[in-house]
Structure 1
Amino acid sequence: MKILLISNHIMGYMEVPRQELENMGHDVHILYYCKWPLKFKYKSFGQRLISFLRKINGNSIKKKHREDTIKEFTSTKVYDKILVTHPQNLNSKTHKYLKSITKDYIVYLFDGLKKMPIQEHYIHFFDEVFSYEPADCKKHNLKFITNFIPTERFRNSDSKRNLFNISSKDVRYPKLRKLAEYCHHNNIPTRFILFSKKPLKTALFQVISCKINIQQIDQHLKHVTTFVDIQRPEQNGLSFRVFEAMGNEKKLITNNSHIKQYPFYNPTNIHVIDFNNLHIPEEFLATPYQKTEWNLYQKYTAKNWVQDILSLN
């Protein structure tokens, strides 16, 4: 089966289902918006300004470049399946074209519609629309599917008892800072990395000015016992951090209480914090991770995810 994936790089996560598809024997092509040949760099401020004005019609110079490049890349091809993420990064003409060269045009929304409402303007192009946000699925009649386990590499690695988080300095920062202060006052070791474009003086975080990829994050994942996941105010669905924790058999601290509704929820492995009454039990940090039952674990693997979303079963 010939399959085309078009996606943001998303820290390398889409490479995992791509590999699974190739392992199944499918002919897989993948295009990333931020990589050659779709990557586009403005030649001047004037070109950037013209592109901004064209955005009003949904056809910036960048999107026109992607349209032309995709047509050239696929000019002699017909695909059985095309899977797109972040559909707002392509113009309407590109979506119509892609739909014309495949039997099944599918989109997975890596961001909820509250966080990225512009996606709603494009979902009508697709035969199937998947989302990990239960509220979006209910309101817009989308198909629900969680994110997938992106890595299992650090299950038995030599790790120290500490908490790990990596995130951008955004609306989550006040809560993350409150948690960092709590850990500092209670002598709980942390490794919190914060991406900030502006300089930030703090001893609570390792501040970085450039985002890092999944391979660089891996160097941190192997040395910690507990992941920290702070959800955005508009987010109810489960982030990739939840499934990274499951795959690597690390404990998880999160403020997303909706996780209790999922079948893999285990209070030995997952502690839900309330920022109005912040507390992390010593017993939670001290007790070992309990393995997820094998059949339940398989439900969240990248192989199962891509089989479900592309109807390959």
Structure 2
Amino acid sequence: MQSPPLGIRNKKIIILCRDVGGYLGRLSTFLGKSNDVVFLDLTHGAKELPWLPGKLRRWLKKYLIVKRARAAIRAAGHVDALLVVNPSQLDQGLVTLAQAAAALSVAYLSDGIARLSMPIDQLATFDKVYTFDGADAREYQLRKLYNYIYEEHADFRTTSDFKAFVVMGGKHRVDVLGRVARAFEQLGYTNTCKFLVQSKPVLGASPLLTFFRQRMDIDETAEYVRRSEILIDIVRPGHAGLSFRFFEALLYRKKMITNNASVADYDFYDPRNI
């Protein structure tokens, strides 16, 4: 990312999201080079409260985060544009408040419609709705928008220290990843692969998988990507959009293994590399 498009300069913008991967923070920094950006990440913004019971602690943290975000939106006043990423994951009152402050409100869905926990007609409150999923774009008449290269420059050193690398969250794709891991084991690559899953250990899962709890930040993930020969992408049930892994593979010239058949529809698809 070199500089924002010519049409996005000297604007006041609110970005409202849950930036669990760090990618939206990079987008905010990028746009902030020539715009006034208010970045509201609802995964951060409240102190830890270890002395409270679990459910009460989670409720109070969410309350404090939303309260701080409301204050930030009010302080911003009228803005030129609002970007809300995955609005179904956010406090709806907060989304409505932000929409009222914006001349243009835009929603972006980085997950499939099937996984949305909101009625599809609620998206009609936005001026524009984009999705990374081509099938959803066609079925629901949404605008298609790809993921992006989030690095500021491309002169990183790359290696093949690891034969293969994958990191993913949750337990729903663990069985598929286990089969992939066993295939690499049969080829003799067990000790040179990183199969990482952010989740509690899953009973009966392949011993080749490494489970961990603390979310891996974007820089650590990118370092693994640069040091791996093959990147593995296992699509979540309910969508067919391309994850950031594909764009990292393009940037760093890595090979891909994926169960996302929709990649064959893209111009860059080459069966020798994917």
Q: TM-score, normalised by structure 1?
A: 0.73
Letter matched to residue 74 of structure 1: I
| Stretch moving more, 154-163 or 220-229 | 154-163
Other-structure match for 1:8: 18
SS of 1:114 mapped into structure 2: helix
Q: 2:40 aligns with which of 24, 31, 54?
A: 31
Alpha-carbon distance in 2 for matches of 1:155, 1:252: 19
Other-structure match for 2:5: none
8 Å CA contact 1:63–1:91 kept in 2: the answer is no
Pairs aligned (count):
259
Other-structure match for 1:227: 231
SS of 2:181 mapped into structure 1: helix
CA displacement at 1:81 relative to structure 2: 0.7
Q: Write out aligned runs for 1:204-283 (5 A).
A: 204-270=208-274
Going from structure 1 to structure 2, the CA distance change for 1:169 and 1:94 (only over 3 Å counts) comes to closer
Identity of aligned residues (%): 25
8 Å CA contact 2:159–2:229 kept in 1: the answer is no
Q: 1:21 aligns with which of 21, 24, 31?
A: 31
CA displacement at 1:26 relative to structure 2: 1.0
1:112-158, Cα deviation, whole Å (9 max, x unpaired): 11123436364232111110112222222211111112236575323
1:150-208, Cα deviation, whole Å (9 max, x unpaired): 23657532333611111235221111111111111112342211223137685412222
SS of 1:74 mapped into structure 2: helix
Letter matched to residue 5 of structure 1: I
Letter matched to residue 2 of structure 1: K
Other-structure match for 1:281: none
Other-structure match for 1:146: 146
8 Å CA contact 1:154–1:221 kept in 2: the answer is no
Alpha-carbon distance in 2 for matches of 1:137, 1:47: 37
Other-structure match for 2:95: 95
Letter matched to residue 190 of structure 1: C
Alpha-carbon distance in 1 for matches of 2:245, 2:209: 18
SS of 1:75 mapped into structure 2: helix
CA displacement at 1:64 relative to structure 2: 5.7
CA displacement at 1:18 relative to structure 2: 1.6
8 Å CA contact 2:130–2:145 kept in 1: the answer is yes
Going from structure 1 to structure 2, the CA distance change for 1:43 and 1:143 (only over 3 Å counts) comes to farther
| Stretch moving more, 84-93 or 96-105 | 84-93
Other-structure match for 2:68: 69
Letter matched to residue 39 of structure 2: I
Alpha-carbon distance in 1 for matches of 2:49, 2:116: 23
CA displacement at 1:233 relative to structure 2: 2.8
Q: TM-score, normalised by structure 2?
A: 0.82
5+ long unaligned stretches in structure 2: 1-10
Alpha-carbon distance in 2 for matches of 1:49, 1:155: 41
Alpha-carbon distance in 1 for matches of 2:110, 2:119: 10
